[in-house]
Amino acid sequence: MNENYIKQGFETLSVDPLDEYRAKGIFLRHLSTGAEVYKVEADDSENLFAFTFRTPPSDHSGVPHILEHAVLCGSEHYPLKDPFLVLLKGSAHTFLNAMTYPDKTVYPAASTVKADFINLMRVYGDAVFFPQLKKEAFEQEGHRLDFDDDGKLIRAGIVLNEMKGSYSSAESVAGDWTLRSLFPDSPYSWDSGGDPEFIPSLSYESFKAFHERYYHPSNARIFLYGDHNLEEVLSILDGEFLSHFTRRDISSQISLQSRWDEPRKMEASWPSVPGDEVKNKSTISMNWLLGESTDPEAVLSAQILSFILLGHGGSPLQKAIIDSGLGEDLSPVSGLETDLRQMVFSAALRGTNPNTREDFENLVSGVLGNLVKDGLDTNLVEGALRSVEFRAREIRGGSPFGMRLMNRALRGWLHNRPPQESLVFDKPMQNLRSQVKKGFFEGIIRREILENRHRSTVVVSPDPDLQTRRDSAERRLLDDLQQSMDNPDVLNISLEKLDAFQDTPDSPEDLARIPFLSRKDLPEDVRILPLEEGQYGDVLWFRHETFTNGVNYLEMAFDIEGLNPELQFWMPLFGRALTDVGLPGMGHDEVARELAMKTGSLGCSLEAAPVHPDAGGGVSLRMFLHLKALNRQWDEALNLTMRLLLSADFSDITRVKDLLLELRNDFRSAVVPSGHVFASLRAASKHSPASSWEDLWYGVDQL
């Protein structure tokens, strides 16, 4: 065994070739605490770290979520109210966040500047291991009693208000009840984010005890990625954090949900707006508990099967659900969940009547039964295999590549499997391809879905009076509480302390503790991508050559400034329809299957950008077409893309109507979680011509 890191306090458990990523994995354990570290050593300057703790909830109080907020409100060595807000002013980070999951809490950050990476790790590490956890931070981030302008008692708190918003979203409630329905005997039955009805039950003492119990090195998994010096990082982890603790036996393992003998049915409600139509606004989901997510081949098989059934407009189950007329479109609840200890597969319909539950169950069971009886189209299976391989191989994404690897590693690592098992995909894919023959996936459908008795059907319906009842119940409780207060001054004193906490500026001495980048920390050599450029007719083209793990990308920009505003309003629908309709002689489902077979994805986006005055000023309006595909499929992918550009068939009015409903529902479902985006777009539209176009395309007018 490699013992190069013993002097930093770590033993090496394994060194793993990760050829898929042109990288190497190093698995380590801290000798005195048992904290585990996994470093993906890669030739990538975007370095990332993530502190992860298993944090299984035992109630709906939302303590994991509140703690995720509160640990970032000052720590032992950085005793500022919000050290990260200060840190941001002098950081070159590419990612900085914290996330609460149903079974874990993760604190990741990334930067392309090594000194910045170290600074961020020091502040984050101090926050999670040595937070101040002041009562004022608990009351600010979690919940508290307060008075409104009329002197009436109210409840307030950042997480409390956030979760009230979440519990008024149909999609959020449907997703929450999917887990509750399948995992009644597991920590997954509790909402780690917090149920607004139960968040006020969390005491300050229980809040601190949760941190004491779970935020310990013996319960920590620390993921590292990039080209940083591992010895330096391990020395910091050991010297500044881990060596201050001793090993502890922490019971945080996520238990397996025991299997049922019979399917179950559940009903739930979400608070719709009084006066809105409620007749066809329900969501119905069928949900199955599958195998463990710690088995890489089982995960890969489930991912491929999910793509076969629901991955695109040509997938048989998705097409049958949409064509059935039972509802408007597929719910976002649909698909495969692999981030839990046991996987979950769901097929869900939104915009439906709750009385169609039995019809929906019969439809889904019938489609799956026919697929087993008649067999799956071999091209459909091959397209799914290629798509899943593409997603596993792709480097580029909306977040740092290290984040994507972290999520994969934690799939098994969180449940005591070596992290490298969940990272590798070439070998499991080869094993799976060698097994795929006629009847392979049909057998999985039969065993894991049709014969699986651990199934729930959940109906989530709108209730226009639900929010009123909730508000009235809370008002009665608070009025009774206010009347029974022996000494209201106690609450006033507490609120005065909170005001002082929030209003008192950080001292210059405390501010000076936050590490900032200096000019000497910045790299002198900036990586410049090689660029070729040329012209084909009137078209300018640019080409960058870099390592993309076998994936090619194409971006095509189309000038749309000549369209009048009335047509511009319909551009989001046009962009979606362009890649989701048929071709002459081919239905939209056939085109969708071809796209799945030959591309990684094909999609459109719109952009409005101000033009520099030296270039004429004004606003540039463009539609971008984004294509990505594996190298070996590039010619086929490009040919199919050009056919859609030149010959897309919009004559199928039913298909266009379905796409319009999907688009409208996507916009509406974004209102609650992203209401601030709609508000900021509308506000900015009054001050910026470019923003006015974005408001037209993506703002409230589209609702």
Domain boundaries, the chain: 6-251, 264-462, 531-702
Task: Say if 6-251 and 531-702 have the same CATH topology.
Answer: yes
Active-site annotation holder among 36, 41, 46, 68: 68
Q: Identify the pLDDT of residue 2.
A: 47
3-class SS of residue 149? coil
508-529 pLDDT tens trace: 999 999 998 888 888 887 778 7
Architecture of domain 531-702: 2-Layer Sandwich (3.30)
CB 100 within 8 A of CB 192: yes
651-670 pLDDT tens trace: 999 999 999 998 988 888 88
Q: Give the pLDDT mean for 325-330.
A: 93
213-267 pLDDT tens trace: 999 999 999 999 999 999 999 999 999 999 999 999 999 999 999 999 999 999 9
Q: Identify the pLDDT of residue 1.
A: 39
- Specify the CATH superfamily of domain 264-462: Metalloenzyme, LuxS/M16 peptidase-like (3.30.830.10)
Active-site annotation holder among 36, 41, 139, 141: 141
CB 644 within 8 A of CB 591: yes
Per residue in 386-424, is it b (16+ CB within 10 Å) or e — as a string?
bbbbbebbbbeeeebbbbbbbbbbbbbbbbebbbbbbbb
Q: Identify the pLDDT of residue 312.
A: 92
3-class SS of residue 405? helix
Q: Give the pLDDT mean for 117-131.
A: 97
Question: 């030149």: which residue's tokens?
Answer: 646
Q: Give yes or no: 68 in active site.
A: yes
CATH for 6-251 is 3.30.830.10
- Crossing angle, helix 63-70 and helix 158-166, to 10 degrees? 130
590-647 pLDDT tens trace: 999 999 999 999 999 999 998 877 777 789 999 999 999 999 999 999 999 999 999 9
Q: Give yes or no: 46 in active site.
A: no
Model-level pTM?
0.91
Q: Identify the pLDDT of residue 325.
A: 93
More confident residue, 425 or 357: 357
Structure tokens at 117: 């990476």
More confident residue, 526 or 81: 81
DSSP state of 131: B
Does pLDDT of 120 surpass 90?
Answer: yes
